[in-house]
Amino acid sequence: KIDRFGQEINNEESVWYWCHKNKIPVFCPSITDGAIGDNLFFHSYKNPGLIVDIAQDIKLLNQLAMKAKKTGMIILGGGMVKHHICNANLMRNGADFAVLINTAQEFDGSDAGAKPDEAKSWGKIKMEATPVKVYAEASVIFPLIVSQTFAKLIHP
């Protein structure tokens, strides 16, 4: 489980630490991509037996969405992460709230560039929802959004 990283890190500067401490599940649908996947391969090559159950992760993510009274999506970027979060909400007939932040445009046909109306048409966002798409670099704009919204509730 990815939760184990937060448990072992034991560093208050880590997002994973706080997720572990507050029992907030963390999912990584693309955990086998990149360096972690390479290291899983190298480890299992020399030490057979390690199994990473990505099917269990998708099951847990979908069940969380299906059991929730309401769901909201704040999606930074696009691609696989956006697809998995939206699909989990499809399992519950759509998210109640959605904010999509990325630089992708609709003209190239990418999932990241799709407007929220497309997610509505698939049932990934409820028809009565009022989703927002912000065309901006997420690493720049998200901290500004948080500072002017959520953070004001903590530090008025």
Side-by-side strand order, sheet with 72-76:
72-76, 97-102, 132-135
From first to last of its 156 residues, the chain has per-residue pLDDT tens of: 678 888 888 899 998 899 999 999 888 878 777 888 888 888 888 888 887 788 888 899 999 999 999 999 999 988 888 888 999 999 999 999 999 999 988 887 777 888 899 999 999 999 999 999 999 999 999 999 999 988 788 766
Token readout for 45 is 């090559």
46 in catalytic set: no
Q: Are 72 and 98 in contact (CB under 8 A)?
A: yes
Provide the pLDDT for residue 155.
Answer: 67
Of 124, 126, 133, 152, which is the active-site residue?
Answer: 124
Token readout for 60 is 């847990």
Provide the pLDDT for residue 52.
Answer: 79
